[in-house]
Amino acid sequence: MGPKNVLFAVVLAAALALGVIVATRVQSPAELHSAFVLPTPTPLPEFALVDQRGQGITREAFRDHWSLVFFGFTHCPDICPTTLQILSAARKTLADNGQQPLPKIVLVSVDPERDTPELMAQYMAYFGDDNLGITGTLDEVKKLTTGLGIYFAKQPGNEESYAVDHSAAVLLVNPDAEFHALFGGSHQIESFVKDVPLIMDAF
């Protein structure tokens, strides 16, 4: 990470922390388990990417439904499938609890070089049939991640085994396609089951 990126990360972390403090005082439902609601929801940045069917996708695809958005990659054997399984299990519990509407689970690839739409399709199918896998060009992925304060960095290694460091957060995006609340890692099913309905109700 270059000095500029470090500075950016520090400023962003400070801004997020401040936002979190203000948010928890002003707008969050008092009984939230672990989510931080932003004081003012932030519109998703403009981007042009593709979904797991190879169809073009922009921020408009986030309208009219809630989304739980995770940033990861398919060549990640531990934290990525674990997080998606947690989101999938939370969604199932919410459905069993009669929660309506249900949030859509979204994976944004931070490794678009290896994550083709075909690979994303196979991968996402494992976590249910109404989810969204987003990939595309590195530049367009960065438009989305940078605008949301999501960090990722490809690590050294061969083509097969290199890892990608990435923010562990899950973002809750509201039906106006705005970044609405943040769940920090490490994630628990209970956090989403408890907080998502509370945040939706307060919207």
Partner 1 sequence: MIRLVVLLVALLAACTSEPQPPLVVSDVVVTRPMPGMKMSAAYLSLANNSNEVIRITRVASAQYESVQLHETTIEDGVARMRAIPVLEIAAGETVTLQRGGKHLMLMRPTSASDTVTLQFLDGDDLLLTVDATFEPRTN
Two tokens at 195?
């907080």
Q: Assess 156 for contact with partner 1 (CB under 8 A).
A: no
Given a contact cutoff of 8 angstroms between Cβ atoms, the answer to whether 103 and 172 are in contact is: yes
If the CB atoms of residues 168 and 200 are measured against partner 1, the closer one turns out to be 168
Two tokens at 3?
């000095």
Strands 104-109 and 67-72: parallel
Q: Binding residue for partner 1 (CB under 8 A) from 20, 48, 102, 163?
A: 163
Q: Assess 126 for contact with partner 1 (CB under 8 A).
A: yes
Two tokens at 162?
């290199």
Q: Cα–Cα distance between 47 and 59 in angstroms, integer?
A: 7
Specify which residues 25 forms β-bridges with: none
Q: Assess 13 for contact with partner 1 (CB under 8 A).
A: yes
Q: Cα–Cα distance between 173 and 178 in angstroms, integer?
A: 5
Q: Assess 198 for contact with partner 1 (CB under 8 A).
A: no
| 175-194 positions binding partner 1, by CB under 8 A | 184-186
* Minimum distance from residue 58 beta carbon to partner 1 (Å): 26
Q: Assess 127 for contact with partner 1 (CB under 8 A).
A: yes
If the CB atoms of residues 96 and 160 are measured against partner 1, the closer one turns out to be 160
Rounded to 5°, the CA angle 72-75-79 comes to 50
Q: Binding residue for partner 1 (CB under 8 A) from 79, 93, 154, 178?
A: 79
Q: Assess 147 for contact with partner 1 (CB under 8 A).
A: no
Given a contact cutoff of 8 angstroms between Cβ atoms, the answer to whether 191 and 35 are in contact is: yes
Q: Binding residue for partner 1 (CB under 8 A) from 20, 76, 102, 189?
A: 76
Q: Binding residue for partner 1 (CB under 8 A) from 59, 104, 166, 180?
A: 166
Q: Assess 171 for contact with partner 1 (CB under 8 A).
A: no
Given a contact cutoff of 8 angstroms between Cβ atoms, the answer to whether 148 and 171 are in contact is: yes
Q: Cα–Cα distance between 12 and 1 in angstroms, integer?
A: 15
Q: Which residues bind partner 1 (CB under 8 A)?
A: 13, 74-79, 81-82, 85, 88, 118-119, 122-123, 125-128, 151, 155, 160-161, 163, 165-169, 184-186
